[in-house]
Amino acid sequence: MKFEKKHAVLLLGVALWMVITWSMFIKNLSEAYAAGEDRPDGYWIAHSLLIVVNLVVAAILGALGWKALKASDD
């Protein structure tokens, strides 16, 4: 399959959306932690791991989208 410009834009859009939404989640989670919200340690660990994994996925999608965008310019 050959990536077209529309595929590249979709990948970049999804990556951007993931970064925005997970950044908001980071803000909310850190505010809850700073406010002393009473949760088990597993809650904070699991959500922190989710954040890291999803930001890595966003970076991969962004890199693929960027590569596809550059390839579609040729």
Q: Is 15 exposed, middle or buried (0-12, 13-18, 19+ CB in 10 A)?
A: buried
Question: In the 8-state DSSP scheme, what is residue 27?
Answer: H
Q: Per-residue confidence at 74, pLDDT binned at 50, 70, 90?
A: low
Is the confidence at residue 41, as pLDDT, over 80? yes
For CA atoms 44, 45, 51, 54, the dihedral sign is negative
Token output for 69:
């965008």
Distance CA 69, CA 9 (A): 7
pTM for the structure as a whole: 0.88
Residue 1 has pLDDT above 80, yes or no: no
